[in-house]
Structure 1
Amino acid sequence: MRARTASAAGLLLTRSTTSPASVCSRCLRDDLLSSASPSTLQSRKYHPTRRRDASQFGAAISVAQTLIKGMPKASPGVSVDPLRIVGKELKFMSKNIRQLLGSGHPALDNVAKYYTRSEGKHMRPLLVLLMSQATAIDPRKLPADQSPNKKPVDSPLSSFSILDDSNPDFNPLVSKSTESHQYNVSGDENILPSQRRLAEITELIHTASLLHDDVIDNAETRRASSSANTAFGNKMAVLAGDFLLGRASVALARLRDPEVTELMATVIANLVEGEFMQLKNTAQDEAKPVYNDDILQYYLQKTYLKTASLISKSCRSSAVLGRCAPEVVEASYAYGRNLGLAFQLVDDMLDYTVTAAEMGKPVGADLELGLATAPLLFAWKSNPELGPLVGRKFSEEGDVQKARELVHRSNGVEQTRQLAQDYADKAAAAIADFPEGEAKAGLLEMCEKTMQRRK
């Protein structure tokens, strides 16, 4: 509608500015704000106006120019902004997460909330909210009477005297006889409170994994600041990550959906399994492994467990909470799985192609940690001399530099990009049957943004 109004305004201005005194300003202004099509406006005959209407004509021109000036300019190649679509829900997310993480122990409270004070990409909750919107208008939704228990998302299953879960930042029950609760964020009517809470749980699990990963990797920075393990020590960082997973599990139970609980609990197990696979690096144990296709499959399985599992199962959980038909649930999962794999492939590629300033964290860290990711695996296929370096996890002097040179001399980075694009295309294809709308466009745009990102 706004685009058509701008077009109409342009036509009217073109017609009227040649002879201002011959057009009635009131008709001009009314037509400009009407629902008439541009072709109708172009052919319309306006009755003569008197000279004293000249000032009114000028006002109408001003209205038209203001309207045109206020129209948002579309960026080339970008149809929608996913952040804008669910911006209202995301605005409250950090506050809600901090409420979930409140602890009566000051030191634990400080460490648990440390990574929530610096804004991350929020990609995972963004996808959950977009998926919730995109599937809400699907005509294949199950009947409302098949919806789960409609208790508030903060209503406990056991009494507080039994739970003994002291949280000074959050007290969902005002009194023992009242189920008034703080979680009352108004937002898009197509997103259920349980789906909003799922988005927050997804971010909690992701943040917990960051706390643990930074300890395992001896990371010094995170989001352009000192990492939690650097600021507070390894023990406190690990315990804070455990605390986040505990609070996420409590919030998950209160959604009262067994399937969603099963899906998201499996994610936590997958994160640990993926970390163990990464410690081994490849499926081969010998010191001088030889490249074969099983090595790439091992890497992709590890990538699914560490990255794509959370994205795919949270997207699937969103559709389950929305009471979607089985084929919609499967499509949501396929979208998340493929996008998650594409996201990590791009991340591994950026470790070879961008600077630390662009990335917002140290680059080249994968080889320093002894990790063989997709660009190196593709380079290894045509450079067998990489085998011994992979076997000893690039531990000898000069190994890291030699490996980087071989990756850059080969087409390892480009092959990684092509594989990531294949997965991004599969993600887009998975939701092809979703009803057209802004949320679906946002999900498709996330496929594009994943391939274009530089950090």
Structure 2
Amino acid sequence: MNTHAQLSFKSINHEMQQLDQNLKKMITAEHPILYSAAEQLFNAGGKRIRPAILLMIAKLITNKDEISDEQKRLAEITEIIHTASLVHDDIIDDCETRRGIETIHNMFNNRIAVLAGDFLFAQSSWYLANLNNSDVVKVISKVITDFAEGEIQQGTKSFDYQISIENYIEKSFYKTASLIANSCKGITMLGTDQTTIQNDFYLYGKHLGLAFQIMDDILDMTSSQEKLGKPAGLDLKNGNLTAPLIFALAEQPKIIKLINQEFENPEDIKKTISMIKQTSGIQKAKDLATEHIQLAVHIINQKYSKKNTKEILLTSYYILNRIN
């Protein structure tokens, strides 16, 4: 399999176009400012990797090559939940841009941004309830609890150079992988009652989500603001110590002094990133992401290889090679 993959959604192209149209209808709000804030988020675009993966899974587990209306709706709900979490993340991280455009709290204010995020969570909950499937509601509702747990863990470990890789992975699960894992499980619950299949795709989503977060943390140190669509080095600035730095500390203990000083000087972030790049920290983090992708892909190859899995495998590998 070529790991230098490009995104390809040919098999679900129609469903993805429909998803974009439906998302705009689903965020309708009576108050113009609230609507404007929500619309701003979805107009910013994004690759929609999460709903695309869900739609691919929906096709993968059926013999009819069809996706039900309920499964399409869950893919839409997942994207709304993800977008709502970004609004709150941007406030906590004081991020000025997202996907190359001004963030909601920067365009309006923190209060409007909090309300916009809450509104999106509320909308997702309403549509989730209308699926009329209490088991799926339970699975997806857990995600929002996990978001809060992840933020608390990140906050309590701020500027803590003793954070372990295990702590980092746990926090990354709550903040990122939980949504993908539970959504993958939910989409299968709407298509089959076989718990083995549901658990397979939960694990697939978990490993995919962890790889995605690790790569995101690598890009925060190796990419530019233009490519990221948000300021580079933001994790360090906010005291969020990630895999590349954790691995680098064993080779560059001098970084600890800069962490303890909370990168107080303007050049400390650049200096720290430069020191990390002189170690094997970034490569070790990439190896960790690769390990999680391989675990995810193994599930597909081992049990679902008789199906048309090319697109979902390419999308999985894309996560390792995305540039933003």
Residues of 1 paired with 2:273 and 2:316: CA distance? 28
Equivalent residue for 1:111, pick from 37, 49, 59: 37
- For the residue of structure 1 that corresponds to 2:94, the secondary structure is coil
Pick closer, same or farther for the CA change 1:372–1:322 going to 2, 3 Å.
same
The C-alpha deviation readout for 1:295-328, integer Å capped at 9, x for no partner, is 1111111111101010111001011111241111
How many aligned residue pairs are there? 323
Corresponding residue of 2:306:
436
| Unpaired segments ≥5 residues, structure 2 | none
What is the 5 A alignment of 1:3-402? 82-137=8-63, 190-281=66-157, 289=161, 291=162, 295-396=164-265, 398-402=267-271
Q: Distance in 2 between matches of 1:319 and 1:283?
A: 39
Contact 2:55 2:67 (C-alpha < 8 Å) held by counterparts: yes
1:451 aligns with 2:320: yes
Counterpart residue number, 1:172: none
Q: Which structure has more RCO (C-alpha within 8 Å, separation ≥ 6)?
A: 2
Aligned twin of 1:410? 279
What's the CA shift for 1:389? 3.2
Q: Classify the secondary structure of the residue corresponding to 2:30.
A: coil
Gap runs ≥5 in structure 1: 1-74, 138-187
**Is the contact between residue 282 and residue 298 of structure 1 (CA under 8 Å) also seen in structure 2?**
no
Tell me by how many angstroms 1:80 deviates: 8.7
Cα gap change, 1:295 to 1:448, in 2 (>3 Å) = same
Does the CA-based 8 Å contact 1:371-1:393 persist in structure 2? no
| Higher helix proportion (structure 1 or 2) | 2
State the TM-score, normalizing by the size of structure 1.
0.67
The answer to whether the Cα contact below 8 Å between 1:79 and 1:441 also exists between their aligned partners in 2 is no
1:433/1:109 CA distance change after superposition, 3 Å: same
Cα offset for 1:98?
1.8
Q: What CA distance in whole angstroms lies between the structure 1 residues aligned with 2:192 and 2:262?
A: 47
Deviates more, 1:352-361 or 1:301-310: 352-361
- Sequence identity of aligned pairs in percent? 33
Q: Specify the SS of the correspondent of 1:384.
A: coil
Deviation at 1:387, TM superposition (A): 2.9
Structure of greater Rg: 1
Verify the 8 A CA contact 2:88 2:113 in the aligned structure 1.
Answer: yes
1:275 offset after TM fit, Å?
Answer: 0.9
1: distance between equivalents of 2:274 and 2:56?
41
Give the distance between the partners of 1:260 and 1:215, measured in 2 at CA: 29
CA contact (8 A) 2:5 2:317 kept: no
Q: Relative to structure 2, which stretch is displaced further, 423-432 or 389-398?
A: 389-398
1:85 CA displacement: 1.6
Q: Relative to 1, partners in 2 of residues 1:80 and 1:217: Cα closer, same or farther, differing over 3 Å? A: closer
What is the alpha-carbon root mean square deviation over aligned residues?
A: 2.2
The Cα of 1:381 is off from its aligned counterpart by 2.0
Structure 1 pair 297–89 and aligned structure 2 pair: CA distance change class (3 A): same
Shift of residue 354, structure 1, vs aligned partner: 1.9
Calculate the TM-score normalised by the size of structure 2: 0.93
CA distance in 2, matches of 1:239, 1:76: 43
More off after superposition, 421-430 vs 404-413 = 404-413
Question: Is the 8 Å Cα contact of residues 115 and 207 (structure 1) preserved in structure 2?
Answer: yes
Instruction: Return closer, same or farther for 1:135/1:82 CA change in 2, 3 Å cut-off.
Output: farther
The C-alpha deviation readout for 1:254-297, integer Å capped at 9, x for no partner, is: 1111121111111011111111111122696xxxx5x4xx6111
